[in-house]
């Protein structure tokens, strides 16, 4: 698995990117045998098509890659990653004049194509290696790819090997790698240190619940990242049907994305005071599991009526958000694979987010387009506040009726963020079918857009 650029070499073969409009002009500059080869193979520069050019010794002399039309390209991203997956093993270089975000996207997608989840079965990603094109920040892109590989590995690993203790262990390894401060509050210590809802959700599991905390950086604005770390979600006593439980190893995708973002922030040396909080639990079933109808008291003191034990993510996030807000950070962001309603609303490819800060939302949207990490703003719709207020407690964790499930979850979380500048991401975290640079399985969503936007938003 190669997730880094190849060293510059005179042996690197050229990959020429062509559109249907530029193909004839290129052919006209070639020797007759090359022109005949291209025409004879019917290469029309359609999007994603690859044609290897033969050399005099029988080996490849280079290759062509079709970019298709502008309309074709607008219907996807990381198109050049398809070349990485198709070309023969060896070193390649882009023989074109791509620039700016287009060049960055091509290079990043190529590296993404090198990823394969091989923990349990031997497999590999693309074997064609790319020489870093002139004009890209190779070190930064490699740091981003390494962080994305971490996100994917964490989500893809089943709960048998990625329970709360293992997730905390990975966070500890990252902290040690970058000299961050690290601590874990575990088991009944969550009660004595006032994290009652994290404890309630995770107490029925054999692997004890815990709160992971990491801090890094001594200068710059304060940034707190909170990630939902439900390592497996049975639904609790409101148990999920098998079809809904099959992918619940990914319910810690918010924590995975937060750890990927945190790793990238540290690897690129961003000038921030970073704090990472991950409530890591398994929502299991046992005699001491929390029940429908229970009233839980949160760290903030608000009481919560449990109308569905399968709406547990917002409970563990609530205590972590309260804790995060106590230090009054300049910006606090939570990420979670929280609601099926978000998946239904925008599908698996978009990362919905909530923010009251128009400046943050606009900067994030611009960065999302720049780095090919799409997001979609959703509203903190105040008229729905009454939907999360039951009769016998301050809040309801699962309002009846089924309306606006993602919005009501976000409104619930905002109640615990205090007066901080707060944004929430309700992501899916899973690639349901393979696409260029993104094999089926766990995937990062939104964090690269956040990484790009943060310096402008925070002045870091």
Q: How far is CA 297 from the centre of its chain?
A: 31
DSSP output for 52-100: EEEPTTSSEEEEEEE---HHHHHT-S-TTHHHHHHSPSEEEEE-S---H
**Helix 164-178 vs helix 253-267: crossing angle, to nearest 10:** 10
Task: Characterize the bridge pairing of strands 60-66 and 50-54.
Answer: antiparallel
| 8-state DSSP, 305 | E
Task: Characterize the bridge pairing of strands 303-305 and 395-396.
Answer: parallel
Residue 18: strand, helix, or coil = strand
Those residues with Cβ within 8 angstroms of residue 127's Cβ, 6 or more apart along the chain or in another chain? 2, 88, 89
Distance CA 24, CA 36 (A): 12
| 8-state DSSP, 44 | -
Q: Which of 73, 127, 140, 240 is catalytic?
A: 240
Is 11 a residue of the active site? Answer: no
Q: How far is CA 195 from the centre of its chain?
A: 26
Q: Which of 314, 343, 438, 448 is catalytic?
A: 314
Is 240 a residue of the active site? Answer: yes
Question: Dihedral, CA atoms, 22, 25, 30, 35, nearest 10 degrees?
Answer: 80
In Å, how far are 202, 342, 421 from 399, measured between CA atoms? 22, 16, 26
Which residues are known catalytic residues?
240, 314
């Amino acid at each position: 698995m190669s997730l880094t650029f190849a060293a510059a070499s005179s042996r690197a073969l050229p990959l020429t990117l062509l559109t249907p409009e530029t193909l004839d002009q290129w052919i006209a500059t070639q020797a007759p045998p090359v022109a005949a080869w291209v025409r004879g193979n019917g290469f029309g520069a359609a999007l994603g098509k690859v044609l290897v050019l033969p050399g005099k010794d029988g080996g490849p002399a280079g290759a062509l890659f079709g970019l298709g039309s502008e309309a074709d390209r607008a219907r996807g991203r990381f198109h050049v990653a398809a070349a990485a997956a198709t070309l023969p093993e060896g070193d390649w270089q882009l023989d074109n004049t791509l620039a700016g975000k287009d060049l960055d996207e091509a290079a990043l997608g190529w590296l993404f194509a090198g990823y394969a989840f091989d923990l349990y079965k031997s497999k590999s990603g693309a074997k064609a290696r790319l020489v870093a094109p002139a004009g890209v920040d190779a070190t930064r892109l490699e740091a981003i790819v390494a962080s994305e590989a971490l996100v994917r590995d964490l989500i893809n690993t089943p709960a048998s090997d990625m329970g709360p203790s293992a997730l905390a262990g990975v966070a500890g390894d990252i902290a040690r790698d970058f000299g961050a401060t690290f601590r874990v509050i575990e088991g009944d210590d969550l009660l004595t240190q006032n994290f009652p809802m994290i404890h309630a959700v995770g107490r029925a599991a054999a692997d004890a619940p815990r709160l992971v905390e990491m801090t890094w950086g001594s200068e710059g604005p304060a940034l707190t990242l909170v990630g939902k770390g439900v390592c497996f979600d049975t639904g609790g006593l409101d148990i999920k049907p098998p079809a809904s439980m099959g992918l619940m190893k990914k319910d810690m995708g918010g924590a995975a994305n937060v750890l990927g973002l945190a790793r990238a922030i540290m690897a690129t040396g961003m000038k921030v005071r970073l704090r990472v909080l991950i409530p890591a639990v398994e929502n299991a079933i046992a005699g001491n599991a929390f029940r429908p109808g229970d009233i839980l008291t949160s760290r903030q003191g608000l009481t919560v009526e449990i109308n569905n034990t399968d709406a547990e993510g917002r409970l563990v996030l609530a205590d972590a958000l309260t804790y995060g807000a106590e230090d009054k950070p300049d910006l606090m962001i939570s990420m979670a694979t929280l609601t099926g309603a978000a998946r239904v609303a925008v599908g698996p490819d978009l990362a919905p987010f909530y923010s009251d800060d128009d400046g943050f939302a606009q900067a994030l949207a611009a960065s999302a387009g720049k780095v090919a990490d799409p997001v979609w703003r959703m509203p903190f719709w105040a008229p729905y506040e009454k939907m999360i207020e039951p009769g016998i407690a301050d809040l309801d964790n699962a309002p009846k009726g089924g309306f606006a499930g993602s919005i009501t979850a976000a409104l619930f979380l905002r109640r615990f963020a205090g007066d901080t500048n707060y944004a929430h991401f309700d992501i899916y975290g899973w690639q349901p079918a393979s696409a260029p640079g993104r094999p089926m399985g766990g995937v990062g969503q939104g964090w690269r857009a956040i990484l790009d936007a943060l310096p402008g938003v925070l002045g870091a």
